[in-house]
Amino acid sequence: MAGCGAPGARQDAAAAAGTAFEAAVVAGDHLRACALLAPQTRRQLEQDEQKPCAVAFASQKLPTAFGVDGVEAYGRQAMVRMAGDTLFLSLFTGGWKVVAAGCTPRQDQPYDCLIKGA
């Protein structure tokens, strides 16, 4: 299963999932981006926008991100910092999925994310 094993392997797999998500965003491939979202995040986006995921995703103003600046992976959770964006991921049976995107840090508070699950 992708993401299992040593911390380095988990970090590499999370970084690859984050990179694939950002590549889909940059390419305007909303179907692919939706496929890379965690199930609850996808449902939340559809519910918030009252549209199918790909249509709802198209209206999001996610920052353009590139290049992985750092990855922290703890068990089944990961944070992927990129130039322009920070992603949070969780490990599912099918691999790493994005649970939050378009995230910016806030002093002494949790990150503020444009797309996130409930």
pLDDT value of position 41: 97
Architecture in CATH of 7-116: Roll (3.10)
Taking only the tens of pLDDT, the chain with its 118 residues reads 444 455 688 999 999 999 999 999 999 999 999 999 999 999 999 999 999 999 999 999 999 888 899 999 998 999 999 999 999 999 999 999 999 999 999 999 999 999 998 7
| 35 contacts: CB under 8 Å, gap ≥ 6 | none
Quote the pTM value.
Answer: 0.90
Q: Scanning the structure block, which residue is given the tokens 């703890």?
A: 74
Q: What is the CA radius of gyration of the chain?
A: 13
Backbone φ, ψ for residue 6 (5° rounding)? -65, 155
Distance CA(17)–CA(19), nearest Å, equals: 5
